[in-house]
Structure 1
Amino acid sequence: MESLDKTDRRILQVLQQDARLNTKEIAHKIGLSVTPTYERLKKIEKLGIIKKNVALLDGEKLGKSMVAYCNVSLQLHSLPLLRKFEAAIHKHEEVMECYHVAGNYDYLLKIVVDDMKSYQLFITTKLAAIENIANVHSSFVMTEIKYSTAFPL
């Protein structure tokens, strides 16, 4: 992969703070003219470094005040069973993130719901309906101390 120089990294830092900025605004912030900034942006996009632009929403203000992290162990670990679990997880909007992990558990899920009753309903009617789950261990967020979507560059 083509390496990024200091200016490319500065562009990415600016975009991670506000992806709504246009090329002219980015150029102004990094001290470069518009044309080279545009060309660098196109190169960065072509490299696939920017996956997509999204709006980050406030879950509390949307009534999604319960955040839980679920560690899930599977009974059996064949590739078809792993893929089946992953496909089932994709169907549930409450699961905001899912990672296949090494360690004591097989998967780490980030679940966001309205409240404890909603969480219990998710666990008992949706997660428990997925085949091959051996164990689920939940941890609940009490206070968000740090949250960032920006990668250090």
Structure 2
Amino acid sequence: MEPLDAIDKQLLRLLQNDAKQTTKELAAHLGLTLSPVYERVRRLENLGYIKQYIAVLDKNLLGQPITTFCQVSMRYHDKAFIDKFEEEVQKLEEVQECYHMAGQVDFLLKIHVGSLNEYHDFVKYKLSQIENIGVLNSTFVLKEIKRDIGYHIH
């Protein structure tokens, strides 16, 4: 992987903070002209440092104020069951994030829903229908203290 120089890192910080900035605005921040900034952005995209540009939405305004972390433990741990779970969880729109974990829990899911009743229905009619789930343990967020979707770039 091609190493990042100080300008690349600053450019990534700027874009991570506000991806709607124009090349002209980025160039002004970096003290460069348009062309080298444009080329750097394209290079960083092509190298995979920039995966996508997104809008961060407000879950409350969207009617999904309940955030739940659900720990899933599987009964059996062979490849076919793990692959099937990963495939099925991709289809669940309520699941925002899913991580395969080491330790006592096999998967950690971050789920957003509108109410506890919606979460109950999600577990009963969707999540628990996935084969081989042994234990589900849900914890509900009371208050979001820190949420940073960016990465620290050093």
Q: Please give the secondary structure, in 2, of the residue aligned with 1:60.
A: coil
Q: Please give the secondary structure, in 2, of the residue aligned with 1:4.
A: coil
Partner of 2:40: 40
Deviation at 1:38, TM superposition (A): 1.2
Give me the whole-angstrom Cα distance separating, in 1, the residues matched to 2:147 and 2:31: 29
Partner of 2:129: 129
Partner of 1:2: 2
Partner of 1:87: 87
Partner of 1:112: 112
CA RMSD for the aligned pairs?
0.7
Q: Specify every segment of 5 or more residues in structure 1 that has no aligned partner in the other structure, as ranges.
A: none
Deviation at 1:85, TM superposition (A): 0.5
Partner of 2:13: 13
Q: Specify every segment of 5 or more residues in structure 2 that has no aligned partner in the other structure, as ranges.
A: none
Give the 4+ runs in structure 1 shifted more than 4 A: none
Per-residue deviation, residues 57-80 of structure 1 (Å, max 9, x unmatched): 000111101000000000001111
Deviation at 1:39, TM superposition (A): 1.5
Give me the whole-angstrom Cα distance separating, in 1, the residues matched to 2:5 and 2:20: 23
Q: Give the aligned residue type for 2:73.
A: S
1:43-58 superposed matches below 5 A? 43-58=43-58
Give me the whole-angstrom Cα distance separating, in 1, the residues matched to 2:152 and 2:84: 34
Give me the whole-angstrom Cα distance separating, in 1, the residues matched to 2:86 and 2:29: 41
Give me the whole-angstrom Cα distance separating, in 2, the residues matched to 1:26 and 1:80: 47
Matched, 1:72 2:46: no
Deviation at 1:31, TM superposition (A): 1.7
Q: Give the aligned residue type for 1:37.
A: V
27-36 or 108-117: bigger deviation: 27-36
Deviation at 1:42, TM superposition (A): 1.5
Deviation at 1:35, TM superposition (A): 1.4
**Equivalent residue pairs, number:** 153
Q: Please give the secondary structure, in 1, of the residue aligned with 2:32.
A: coil
Q: Give the aligned residue type for 2:58.
A: D
Give me the whole-angstrom Cα distance separating, in 1, the residues matched to 2:138 and 2:86: 18
Identity of aligned residues (%): 44
